[in-house]
Amino acid sequence: MKLHWLLTGLLAVVPRDTNALQIRRDTPRDQLQYDAHYFNQKINHFPGSGRFAKPTLGNGTFTQRYYFDTSYYKPGGPVYLYISGETSGPSRFSNLRTGIIQILMEATNGLGVILENRYYGDSYPFNTSTTDELLFLTTNQTIADNAYFAQNAVFPGIEGDLTAPGTPWILYGGSLAGAQTALSIKVHGDVLYGGIASSAPIKVSVGYPEWYNPIQKYAPQDCVTRINNIVDKFDLLVAKKHTKAIKEFKALFGLEVLTDNRDFAAAIADPIGNPGFYHSNTWQELNWNSTYGSRDFFYFCGNVSDIDAPEDIAQVDYALANYTKGEPWVGLGSYANYIKRYTLQLCPSGDYNSNDCWGTQNASAWASIENTSTRSYLYTSCVEQGAYIAAPKEGPALLSRVVDISYEQQWCRWAFPPGRHNKIPSSPDIGAYNDFGAFNLRADRLAFIDGDQDVWNDLCYHSNFAPPRTVSTDLQPELLITGAGHHWDSSGILDVEAEPQFIREAHKWQIKTVKKWLKDFDAWKKSKKL
C-alpha cells in the first residue's frame, strides 16, 4: 500500500540458444536483465456475475506482462510468483535479483516469476482508464488473474509443464500485493499451493489515522514532541479562525500560495508522510537495506530537533509567539527551514498549488483518463480499499487535524464521474476486503509476516486491534519481526548469513516454512487426484 515508490532498474533474459534461456554469467546478479513476456489474460473472469454480466467491455483478453528467472531452476522445483501490486513489474525486479524470490529459488531449486497487476505498468486492458473501463479493477478480478495465469503460464526455454496445480506455485506479495496473495490462497487454494503475505492489509477501514502511530511511538521523541506541539498551535489558530496568523504561519514555510489549509497541512507533513501521493522519502521508505531504503526521515527529524540551529533560524520560533501568549513555537524555525530548503525542491515546476505538487483543489486536474498507476491506485482506494490517511481525532498528532477522510473522498468524486456501466460508491465498499475474514483470515499454507514498526501494521495480521497471536503452525504460520518496517523481508543481499539478525532469522524462517510445505506437495497432489 505504498503511496510513494522507489523504482529499481530493468531486468532482461538473454538467449543461450534457440531452445533455452539463461542469465548472463558475466553480469553481477544485482544487475541482471530480463526480457518481458506477455500473457493473454481475461478482462472479465465473471461474465455471468452481477455488475460484470452486462458490459461488453469485458469481452476478450488483454496482454499481461510478466518476467521470470530460471537461474536456480531444476526440474521438479516449485514456481514462485511475486505479485507486483500497485506498481510496474520492472520496479519489483530487485526481488528476482537479490530479494526474497532469489532467496527461495536458491534454497529450493525454484523458478521465479513476477506478474504485473492489471491496470499497472504495461498491463492495461484498455487504452484509457475511464470509470467504465476501470470496472474490472477489483480484488476478485485481480486474484483470479493469479490463478488463471498459474494454470496457463508458459516459460520459453523451459521444458515440461510447470502449470498449477500439477506444479507447486507459491505466491509472495508485500503491502497491497500481500493482501492479494492472502486472498488468492484463500479463494484459489485448490490451484495455488501456498503463499507468504507480507505487511498485508487484511482488515481495512475507510479512515486510517493509525498510520502515524509507529512514527509517534518509535521516531526520535524530541522531534516528535516538537512537531506535535507545532501542530497543536496551528490547529488552535484554525479553530479560532485567526486568518492573519495562519497566513503568517504558511509564509514561514514558503507555502502561502496554498490557500486550502488541508493542502498546506499535507505539504508540511510531506517528509513524515501525508494523504495522497507524497514526494519525500518518509518513515515508510526506511529499510534495513540501504540500497532500497532512505534515511531522509532521520535527516528531517535531526533538523527539526536541532539544538544548535543558527540564530536567524532559532529566532523564527518566536515569530508567532504573540498568538500563543508569548510561548515560542519550539523547533518551528528548523522545521520551516527544512521544508523550504529540501521539500519544496521536490516540486520541479515551482507551482506548489498544482496537482503535481501539493494543490489538490483543481477538480478538473483529477479528471484525466490517462492510464497511470496513480489513477489505478486511487480508484482501488475509492472503491474497495479506503485506508484514507487522516489525522487522529484525539491525542497527539503529526498531521494537522484539518485533514479528515473527506479530504481524500473529494478526489474520488472528481476523478471518477459516473459512467454508463460503473459508478463509484459514496464511500469505499471495504467489505470487498473484510468479508474474506479480516483479522480472522486463515488458509492452509498461508503465512503472514509483518513488522511492528510498519505504518500499515494496524491493518495487518499482527495489528494491535487483532486477536492475540499466540499459535503458529506449519500449515498456518505467522511471524512478527520486531524492529522492522513495511515488508522489510522482501529485500536481500545474496548472503542470508550476513544479514542483520532480525532479517536473517526471518528469511531462514521463510525458507523452512516453504520447505515444509514442499515436502507435503506430493500427498496434496495425490489428494486432488492430479
Phi and psi at 14, nearest 5°, equal -115, 145
Integer CA distances (angstroms), 51 to 30, 129, 214, 422, in order: 45, 18, 39, 8
Q: Which of these, 194, 158, 190, 197, lies nearest to 175 by C-alpha position?
A: 197
Closest Cα partner for 460 from 193, 294, 277, 211? 211
Residue 14 is predicted with a pLDDT of 24
C-alpha torsion angle, residues 336, 366, 83, 45 (rounded to 10): 160
Predicted confidence at residue 171, as pLDDT, reads 98
Cα–Cα nearest to 116, from 180, 51, 163 = 180
The C-alpha cell at 254 is 514558503
pLDDT by 10s per residue, the chain, length 530: 544 433 322 222 222 222 333 344 467 898 898 899 999 999 999 999 888 988 899 999 999 999 999 999 999 999 999 999 999 999 999 999 999 999 999 999 999 999 999 999 999 999 999 999 999 999 999 999 999 999 999 999 999 999 999 999 999 999 999 999 999 999 999 999 999 999 999 999 999 999 999 999 999 999 999 999 999 999 999 999 999 999 999 999 999 999 999 999 999 999 999 988 899 999 999 999 999 899 999 999 999 999 999 999 999 999 999 999 999 999 999 999 999 999 999 999 999 999 999 999 999 999 999 999 999 999 999 999 999 999 999 999 999 999 999 999 999 999 999 999 999 999 999 998 899 999 999 999 999 999 999 999 999 999 999 999 989 999 999 999 999 999 999 999 999 999 999 999 999 999 999 999 999 999 999 998 77
Which pTM value belongs to this model? 0.94
Please choose, from the candidates 35, 38, 31, 36, the residue with its C-alpha nearest in 3D space to the C-alpha of residue 9.
Answer: 31
- Catalytic pick from 69, 429, 454, 458? 454
SS3 content of the chain, % helix, strand, coil (to 5): 40, 10, 50
Closest CA to 11 of 19, 21, 1, 3: 21
Query: What is the edge-to-edge ordering of all strands in the sheet holding 446-451?
Result: 37-42, 61-69, 111-115, 79-83, 169-174, 194-198, 446-451, 478-481
One-character DSSP codes across 87-142: S-SGGGTHHHHTSHHHHHHHHHT-EEEEEPPTTSTT--SSSS--TTGGGG-SHHHH
- CB distance 222 to 305 below 8 Å: yes
pLDDT at 2 (0 to 100): 42
Tell me if residue 172 falls in helix, strand or coil: strand
pLDDT of residue 178: 98
> Which cell goes with 74?
531444476
Q: Would you say 141 and 61 are in contact if contact means Cβ atoms under 8 Å apart?
A: no
Say whether 454 is catalytic.
yes
Residues across the chain: 530
Please tell me which residue in 71, 175, 199, 490 is annotated as part of the active site.
175
Residue 520 confidence (pLDDT): 98
Bridge partners, residue 198, by sequence: 174, 449
Catalytic annotation present for 308: no
Smallest CA-to-CA distance from 454 within 186, 208, 134, 142 is with 208
pLDDT for 15 equals 26
pLDDT value at position 55? Answer: 83
- What HEC string does 62-98 produce? EEEEEEEECCCCCCCCCEEEEECCCCCCHHHCHHHHC
pLDDT score of 24: 45
